[in-house]
């Protein structure tokens, strides 16, 4: 009896070992061939390596590019990130294979709250909801003809900005803070475009303060990558719910106020983004809820404020560092508008140097070093590696914009590169990727045209009104960076201004 038991046990062990070997081979055969990357720790991957490096995430990634090249993998807790850093691979993924790379990865719980479960243009998955939301925004709000309708709004906001800067300079021996002033000007423009209401400055500031809270609340946390640690972040989760409640309490009254004013011919602003949302139907819904409307309005405000304001601060910094660029731009402004007339929007189209300055600015200082995260709609391949469903695909843009194979002397800020005809770049990426400040392909930022108009106009007006110089007088501009939703100057820029007239 013992003999048979031993025989049975031995046979069972052999069979079990064989089954385990077959199963292991089967698992290994299904394991995706991901791009290489730095070795990580069990369970957490590279997450704690990033956290303990003392570097910002874009700095950590930048340090890996020389070793791992144009495509590599980072394992961030439960998230697998594939980082793409080359123009060729970006073009292949986002243009040639655009539909496959056009969706978004799952959002973390906090972002899900504020995006109303991915019910925004930027966060929604590739499909009918995204198409409806984007079509409504682009056709009804961001078309060239519609943008032109708001020219008086922009002109008024810039007049107010100029007066604010003059008042601040008068009180501070000619010195002003750049970012906070230009940011508030952009925010006021977008708030009026969004809600169609002529709001007083106190209300503008209150809404602006609330939206800043939203951005701070959305900053990544460790539990976004390791949900098992969520129990240790209960206070932060509670705070997120409170901020969301405050956001609704602040914006819903503006929604109701605009709804009551619809059709009123005496309204100061005859059209707004909000008007397009009242009658919008998506997937058979009769009407959007106030919560969904607030979510879309918040996206409109946040998407166009910090990005353009940050770019303008970098522009002023570059003018201070390169006074010859500032002088050359001022000469073009005088040629286009004279010394007595305010620069107008139709002047901008005839100012090649201004457009070159803006393009060079976006090359050197894109709003962020990572475009919004992508994911694939079906398993795909890139550079011979597998891109599985559920992975997060990140496009890291500095190596593209500073690639010496694409650009001559890429480290230099040189708008003339776009004037001589020797170099150029299609910002949309359709004819090739050389820079991608607004991403490229199907998920390119829908507000790119409006942002460029706002940036061109604000740059021209501020250079027309003021001569910008360093503060302190003998000081040098600190071009150190940090990430605060956008890539901003680590030390906010203070500058001395001198009215030109």
Please count the other Cβ atoms lying within 10 Å of the Cβ belonging to residue 242.
12
Closest C-alpha among 463, 451, 455 to residue 358 = 455
Report the alpha-carbon distance of residue 260 to residue 258 in Å, rounded: 5
Locate 97 and state its tokens. 């294979």
> Could you give the CA distance from residue 354 to residue 333 in angstroms, rounded to a whole number?
8
208 and 182 in contact (C-beta within 8 Å)?
A: no
**3-class DSSP state for residue 483?**
strand
Known binding residue 445? Answer is: yes
CA dihedral 116, 263, 250, 452 (to 10 degrees): 70
Q: Which residue has the tokens 């990544």?
A: 220
Q: Which two tokens stand for residue 383?
A: 């550079």
HEC readout, 81-92: EEEECCHHHHHH
- 335: number of CA atoms within 13 Å, CB side? 12
CA distance 131 to 116: 17
Q: Which two tokens stand for residue 249?
A: 């309490």
Distance between CA atoms of residues 78 and 33, nearest Å: 18
Q: Are 57 and 407 in contact (CB under 8 A)?
A: no
Q: How many CB atoms lie within 10 A of CB 405?
A: 7
Asked if the bond preceding 472 is cis, omega within 30° of 0, the reply is yes
Binding residues: 445
Binding residues for heme: 445
């Amino acid at each position: 009896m013992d003999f048979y038991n031993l025989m049975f046990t031995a046979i069972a062990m052999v069979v079990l070992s064989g089954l385990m070997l077959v199963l292991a081979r089967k698992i290994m055969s299904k394991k995706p061939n991901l791009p290489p990357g730095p070795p990580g720790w069990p369970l957490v991957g590279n997450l704690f390596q990033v956290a303990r490096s003392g570097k910002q995430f874009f700095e950590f990634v930048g340090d890996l590019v020389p070793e791992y090249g144009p495509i590599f993998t980072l394992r961030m807790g439960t998230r697998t990130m594939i980082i793409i850093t080359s123009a060729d691979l970006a073009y292949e993924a986002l243009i040639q294979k655009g539909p496959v790379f056009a969706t978004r990865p799952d959002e973390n719980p906090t972002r899900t709250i504020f995006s109303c479960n991915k019910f925004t243009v930027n966060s929604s998955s590739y499909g009918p909801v995204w198409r409806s939301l984007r079509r409504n925004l682009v056709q009804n709000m961001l078309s060239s003809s519609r943008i032109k309708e708001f020219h008086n709004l922009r002109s008024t906001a810039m007049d107010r900005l100029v007066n604010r800067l003059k008042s601040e300079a008068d009180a501070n021996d000619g010195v002003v803070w750049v970012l906070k002033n230009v940011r508030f000007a952009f925010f006021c423009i977008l708030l009026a475009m969004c809600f169609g209401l002529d709001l007083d400055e106190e209300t503008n500031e209150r809404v602006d303060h609330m939206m800043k809270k939203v951005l701070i609340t959305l900053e990544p946390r460790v539990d976004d990558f390791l949900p098992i640690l969520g129990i240790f972040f209960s206070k932060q989760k509670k705070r997120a719910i409170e901020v969301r409640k405050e956001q609704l309490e602040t914006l819903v009254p503006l929604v109701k106020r605009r709804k009551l004013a619809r059709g009123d011919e005496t309204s100061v602003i005859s059209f707004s983004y909000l008007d397009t949302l009242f009658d919008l139907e998506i997937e058979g819904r009769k009407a959007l809820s106030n919560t969904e409307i607030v979510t879309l309005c918040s996206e409109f405000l946040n998407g166009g404020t910090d990005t353009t304001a940050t770019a303008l601060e970098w522009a002023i910094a570059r003018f201070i560092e390169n006074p010859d660029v500032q002088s050359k731009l001022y000469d073009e402004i005088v040629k286009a508008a004279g010394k007595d007339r305010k620069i107008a929007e139709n002047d901008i189209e005839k100012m090649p140097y201004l457009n070159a300055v803006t393009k060079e600015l976006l090359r050197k200082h894109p709003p962020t070093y990572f475009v919004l995260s992508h994911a694939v709609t079906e398993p795909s391949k890139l550079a011979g590696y597998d891109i599985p469903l559920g992975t997060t695909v990140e496009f890291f843009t500095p190596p593209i914009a500073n690639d010496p194979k694409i650009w001559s002397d890429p480290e230099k800020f040189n708008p003339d590169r776009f004037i001589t005809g020797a170099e150029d770049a299609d910002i949309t990426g359709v004819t090739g990727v050389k820079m991608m400040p607004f991403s490229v392909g199907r998920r390119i930022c829908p507000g790119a045209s409006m942002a460029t108009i706002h940036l061109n106009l604000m740059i021209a007006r501020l250079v027309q009104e003021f001569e910008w110089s360093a503060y302190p007088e003998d000081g040098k501009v600190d071009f150190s960076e940090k990430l605060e939703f956008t890539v901003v100057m680590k030390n906010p820029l203070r500058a001395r201004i001198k009215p030109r007239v």
